[in-house]
Chains A and B, each alone.
Chain A
Amino acid sequence: MDGLKTFFNNSYTLNILKTDKFTTSSISLFFTVPSAQKCTSKMNVLSNALKSGCNRFPSVSSINRRLQEMYGAVFDIYTFKKGSSQVLALYFEFSGGISELQKAVKFICCVLFDPCVKNGVFSEKLTASSKNAAVKNLRTANDDKAFYALSRCEEEISKCSKKNSAFGMCPLGYENEIKEITSSSLYNFYKRTVCSFPCDIYYSGPHDEKKVKEIFLKNFIFPGTQSKISSWENLEFSSDESKSIVKKSDMEQSQLCIGYTFSNADIYSMLLFNEILGGCSDSMLFKNVREEKGLCYSISSKLYINSSAFIIQCGIEKSEFLKTEEAIDKTLSDIMSGSLSDDIVEKAKNSLSQHYLTLSDSMDGLSGFLYACRIMDLNESPESFVKNIDDIPKNKISQTASNVKKRLTFFLEGR
């Protein structure tokens, strides 16, 4: 890809994206852990622990004061799920010249490689506050009934599949697992993450590759590993029968989530199909379910490309469950039967094209895209992505739709 230079060493892959467009520079870093390790809980606690202090900046406020001194530099450590992988990510954004890049890299090294460790374990106080934050984040997320309904739908789909896959694992972890984490087990997990799992670094900014490479090689020294990553995960089912689950809640509005899987679909067809169905603001679901029937305020379909699955979600009145399900089924069968106007297909292609071609307009847009390609084992650029989508003929969309299977209906019933 133009403007991208990649360097490999034993511990990590360094990707340099030279750009003069922004007023700041950014560093994104990803440790990819196979979810077979079942580590979402430890990952969340670890991310809290690392961003709450290190030996040089031993409190959350001293870290933040340092960032404020660096002209409001942005820093975060967080975790997310991608197919069969769980990712520990770090993001750092800063302004200024080459001296600021050196300060930025040194800061990241302090936080990542010199955490608050005493006698070979994380400090008890830090472990306790990090566990507390992880539990509270999980509880708060579940207070959002849309998030809760979606997570439950993912979990139940996973339970229906032949082997209980990473698809259903909650990316924020589980309360009972979090409570069992000790300072020692957390430290062991930290060491394993830094030493044993692949690390990808993306720098985006105005400095030339020679200077950037020099600064990283001089400061970023850790055991690490270079190994192949693949986050693909195929959900397999023993039958085509779809399951229905209804749970009651005290909310005013009900949440409807319906999960489906694709079979034999390539990623570009899945992307285009999803965009037409419920990915963009002028989608078929938006038109049919909201605008024509007035059944909801928001409706969308979320694509899980690494798992070849998608979930349609909307907030509705309890009494309109059957009507809404019918409207959704009709929308899908319209796509299956090929009743798609050229206009709808064109709009969806334009929307995807706009999304991918403007990734370079955001600080972490391109790095996020490149990392996603890396863990899907794809060698693509935004331009080649758009070309592959543009080349999809209309009949391929209905073919893709015809191979879709409904797996689960999850209804979180309101008052």
Chain B
Amino acid sequence: MYLEMKKSELSNTEFFDYTLSSGTKCYIIPRNGFKTSQACVVVDYGSADIAFSSEGNMYLSPSGTAHFIEHRMFEKKEHSFFSEFSSSGAYCNAFTDHRRTAYYFSCSNNFYDNLKRLLKMVSEPYFDDEGIKSEREIIKREIAMCNDQANWRVYYNMLKVMYRKKPLKVNIAGTENSLEKITPEILYNCFKSFYTASNMSIICTGDISPKKVAEIAESITFPTNPTAIKYYPSDEKRRAGDFIKERMGVNEPVFSLGFHYRDFTPGLKSTYAFRMAFELIAGTGSALYSKLFMKMMLFEPLGWNLMFSKDFCTGIITGKSRQAILISNMIIDEAERILYKGISDSEFLRLKKMMLGRFLRGFNSIDALCMAQAELSYFKADMWDAEEAIITITKEYVEDILETAFSREDAVLSVVE
């Protein structure tokens, strides 16, 4: 059993990577002295993965299938894993986004038993008509809850304008219509196509033994059949527009300013460079933010997120203001101005210190560490790679990213008021 170990001098932490004989990648981060331990299984299958081919056949699954599987995985024919986790003192949960599904638990006792439990749970599906019927009602309530949230609506409206054909513009949970089309056969087929050994990763953090984790992971094998091939519509040459507004009657309008990065595949380093570019232009330490705050055009910091998968890459700036259009133009103008002026060495150093500090702080929370590694598993990277990426990032690299990060022609503004 070969456990590759890397040591970080910065965080004084050892990272262990292990590839199971089935092909599943295992990332283990021991953190001695913590009472909580956490484990997560990530499946490279999300809401946008509705079209795929498996065993020579093409399939188009209803929207919300990945999320539906996530909801049902805790319940089996004779027992509930949810109840079992709870009885052993563990907290468990799961989530689905556009490109992945993740199942996790945290506990202060019985970690190895719960790890076995988690791995068994995600390898043994059980779907029946009765379970699907009751889950459908619960998910409909979830959709209704999300539809009442301005942040949710502003984001999906932006996606609808930015991507006319892509499935990611549909709610992760699906729609009331698409839920009606889900059957046990569809769920089994999607499970078989994507819940495969090479398509899943295991992450464990806490006061744990890497050797023991690897032994347990080796003892429960995920299915080793080939993973389905995903298909996505080709990238549109023309967007539906660049602005969309919806009235919800909220007291304070919310906005999402999205940038579509066509033909761009993000790597680990570029995700950090995008963050630095945003902080420089419109982050809390920027002259622009200070101006917007003192003029009372903003009352809280803007948010930044880079969303991506094999099918798309979008940078999103979010905020709350009655002057979304003006602020969006000011952000784009500021990006152009700084690009022209260049980034000073002192500004770059300040931002790099900020990134390193944030990275280090992530080690203080078992949950944050586990989720950060879960995110990195997409790049087949670990926390050591992430640390290297931040340390070796250069000013020139950030300037390259800045050239196309906030371009007017790639921008779509969505407002909900």
Contact = CB atoms under 8 A, between A and B. Distances in A.
A351 B357 contact: no
B33 to A, nearest CB: 5
A294 B134 contact: yes
Given A72-B361, A93-B361, A361 B36 contact: yes
Contacts of B363: 22-23
A73 B108 CA distance: 29
Interface string B62-90: 00000000000000000000110011110
Contacts of B34: 21, 361
B277 interface: no
Nearest to B295: A129
B350 A65 contact: yes
Contact of B144 (A68, A140, A253): A253
B284 A61 contact: yes
B321 to A, nearest CB: 9
B252 A294 contact: no
Interface in A269-309: 280-282, 290-291, 294-298
Given A128-B296, A315-B141, A347 B87 contact: yes
B141 A297 contact: yes
A351 B108 CA distance: 10
A71 B356 contact: yes
B108 A354 contact: yes
B286 A61 contact: yes
Contacts of A361: 34-36, 365-366
B296 A132 contact: yes
Given A280-B86, A315-B145, A68 B137 contact: no
Interface in B198-215: none
A68 B293 contact: no
B287 interface: yes
Contacts of B252: 136, 139-140, 143
Interface string B1-43: 0000000000100000000000000000000011110000000
A145 B148 contact: yes
Nearest to A133: B299
Contact of B91 (A68, A253, A354): A354
Interface in A317-353: 317, 343, 346-347, 350-351, 353
Nearest to A353: B89
B357 A59 contact: no
A183 interface: no
Given A68-B350, A72-B354, A23 B11 contact: yes
B58 interface: no
Given A69-B350, A133-B299, A357-B108, A297 B142 contact: yes
B329 interface: no
A65 B87 contact: no
Contact of B285 (A21, A64, A129, A353): A64
Contacts of A166: none
Interface string A348-374: 001101100110111100000000000
B262 interface: no
Taking chain B's interface residues, is the majority helix, strand, or loop, or is none over half, making it mixed?
A: helix
A316 B145 CA distance: 9
A13 interface: no
A185 interface: no
A353 B35 CA distance: 12
Given A61-B285, A61-B289, A282 B82 contact: yes
Nearest to B322: A136
A47 B306 CA distance: 31
Nearest to A73: B357
A52 B355 CA distance: 22
Given A61-B286, A74-B361, A317-B141, A281 B293 contact: no
Interface string A59-81: 11110110111111110000000
Contacts of A145: 148
Interface in B337-388: 350-351, 353-358, 360-361, 363-366
A49 B350 CA distance: 25
B83 A68 contact: no
A298 B296 contact: no
A140 B251 contact: yes
B290 interface: yes
Nearest to B368: A362
A71 B353 CA distance: 5
B interface, size bucket: 35 or more
B250 interface: yes
A352 B107 CA distance: 12
B144 A252 contact: yes
Contacts of A295: 141
A128 B142 CA distance: 39
Nearest to A254: B144
Nearest to B136: A294
A384 to B, nearest CB: 17
Nearest to A346: B87
B249 interface: yes
A133 B300 contact: yes
Nearest to A61: B290
A316 B361 contact: no
Contact of A68 (B141, B248, B351, B365): B351
B150 interface: yes
A351 B85 CA distance: 11
A391 interface: no
A280 B89 CA distance: 11
Interface string A180-214: 00000000000000000000000000000000000
B138 interface: yes
B287 A61 contact: yes
B289 A72 contact: no
B219 to A, nearest CB: 26
A129 B293 contact: yes
B265 interface: no
A9 B89 CA distance: 42
Contacts of A73: 357
A250 interface: yes
A251 B285 contact: no
B106 to A, nearest CB: 8
A403 interface: no
B169 interface: no
A65 B293 CA distance: 15
A128 B296 CA distance: 8
Contacts of B86: 280-282, 347, 350-351
Nearest to B135: A294
Contacts of A137: 299-300
Interface in A109-137: 125, 128-129, 132-133, 136-137
Given A280-B91, A358-B35, A362-B364, 6 more contacts: A68-B351, A69-B353, A253-B147, A281-B92, A354-B89, A361-B365
13 contacts: A23-B11, A62-B290, A73-B357, A129-B296, A133-B299, A145-B148, A253-B148, A294-B141, A297-B144, A347-B86, A353-B89, A358-B36, A414-B148
Interface of B: 11, 33-36, 82-83, 86-89, 91-93, 107-108, 134, 137-139, 141-142, 144-145, 147-150, 248-252, 279, 283-287, 289-290, 293-294, 296, 299-300, 320, 350-351, 353-358, 360-361, 363-366
Q: Which 5 A-B pairs have the closest CB atoms?
A: A72-B357, A71-B357, A139-B251, A61-B290, A294-B137
